[in-house]
């Protein structure tokens, strides 16, 4: 649900603030039900990176997702994108390889 709301906001189907607020709420609900859901941590990381510009928080959430599920393609891709944004190109390349 978090990914769907973020996608709706990003595409302009719903207002940006509303969409990302709902996305965050959905990710938080998922994590409240099970704090070990890698996809929920990855969704939260994406919200932090794309909407809140909290890159340190996003980095931590992506790392948590990857600790829980090292082969999670969504988390690998998001972490690689963030690493590129932060200028950590070798890390981005290392993360991209298994995601592909």
Look up residue 46 and give its two tokens. Answer: 């994406």
- Which residue in 17, 59, 16, 55 sits closest to 41, CA to CA? 59
Taking the alpha carbons of 55, 77, 71, 47 in that order, is the dihedral positive or negative? positive
Mean pLDDT across the stretch 6-23?
94
Q: Which domains does the chain have, with CATH numbers?
A: 2-99 (1.25.40.10)
**pLDDT single digits (tens) 56-86:** 999 999 999 999 999 999 999 999 999 999 9
pLDDT score, position 99: 67
pTM: 0.92
Instruction: Provide the H-helix boundaries in the chain.
Output: 2-11, 16-33, 38-50, 55-68, 73-85, 89-99
CA distance 90 to 32: 34
């Amino acid at each position: 649900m978090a990914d769907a709301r973020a996608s709706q906001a990003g595409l302009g189907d719903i207002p940006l603030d509303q969409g990302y607020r709902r996305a965050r709420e959905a990710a938080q609900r998922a994590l409240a039900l099970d704090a070990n859901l890698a996809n929920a941590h990855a969704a939260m990381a994406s919200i932090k990176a794309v909407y809140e510009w909290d890159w340190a928080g996003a980095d931590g959430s992506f790392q948590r997702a990857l600790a829980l599920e090292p082969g999670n393609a969504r988390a690998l891709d998001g972490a690689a994108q963030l690493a590129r944004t932060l200028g950590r190109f070798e890390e981005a390349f290392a993360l991209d390889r298994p995601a592909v």
